[in-house]
Amino acid sequence: MSHGPLKLAFLGSGAGTNFQAVIDAVASGRLSAQIVCAISDNPSSRFLERAREANIPEHFVDPGPDSRKFPEAAQQAVYDLLTASHADVVVLAGFMRLLKDPTLSAFEGRIINIHPSLLPKYPGATAIQDAMAAGETETGATIHQVTAALDAGPIISQQVVPISPDDTLQTLRAKINAVEQEMIVDVLKNWR
């Protein structure tokens, strides 16, 4: 770990709303951190636009043609970028690929993921839809350490989000996202 502000690297594939929450917390002084790197597997993602707007070093890593795989060359590229950034903590914020070695070993215990369910319930990419389809009355958000197993690493923080009878996928996603944004800032504030 470095001295001074926490050095953060982010990986994201989509809108980057949780990433923006951390950018805003750093800019306002609520979080003593420096975002040293933003990596995406999606060259046209809003996530990368947010990095550019905040003058954060941003990188596209080519994921190859298969949306279910993140090939060895991409895994190596992510590792190289993270290592060069000297990140203390790596945050997966809507990153829709599985990380493997060498990154998992090099950053063991220092990679965290933001997931929209109360893990271990509803791992994977369709967690919100799965909770609604199961008729749950509550779901939530989990921040956990990343391991080789999908959404199965040690839980750092969880918060319940009630599901209202009139919730749609969009309204529930928005409620969960608002909770995630507060949670990720708090987890990073208290990082040891």
Query: What is the predicted pLDDT for the residue at 2?
Result: 47
Indicate the SS3 state at residue 142. Answer: strand
For residue 26, the one-letter residue type is V
6-116+143-158+179-189: CATH architecture: 3-Layer(aba) Sandwich (3.40)
Give the Cα separation of 28 and 130 in Å (integer): 36
Q: Does pLDDT of 183 surpass 70?
A: yes
Per-residue tokens: 68: 């279910």
- Could you count the other beta carbons within 10 Å of the beta carbon of residue 48? 22
Mean pLDDT of 99-126: 96
Supply the DSSP symbol for 89.
E
| Beta-bridge mates of residue 90 | 9, 111
**Looking at residues 166-172, what average pLDDT do you find?**
97
What pLDDT, in 10s, does the model give residues 38-51?
999 999 999 999 99
CA distance 150 to 100: 11
pLDDT band (50, 70, 90) for residue 73 = very high
Residue 165 burial class via C-beta count within 10 angstroms: exposed 0-12, middle 13-18, buried 19 and up: exposed
* 82 and 37 Cβ atoms separated by less than 8 Å: yes
Condensed to tens digits (0 to 9), the pLDDT of residues 130-164 reads: 999 999 999 999 999 999 999 999 999 999 999 99
One-letter amino acid of 73: A
59 is catalytic: no
- Tell me how long the chain is: 192
User: What's the pTM?
Assistant: 0.95
Residue 192: predicted pLDDT = 78
- Rounded Cα distance between 109 and 89, Å, is 9
Q: Please state the domain extents for the chain.
A: 6-116+143-158+179-189
Helix (H, G, I), strand (E, B) or coil at 71: coil
Dist. CA 96–CA 99, nearest whole Å = 10
Q: Which of 3, 59, 115, 144 is catalytic?
A: 115
Question: Left, alpha or beta for 64 (phi > 0: left; psi -120 to 50: alpha)?
Answer: left
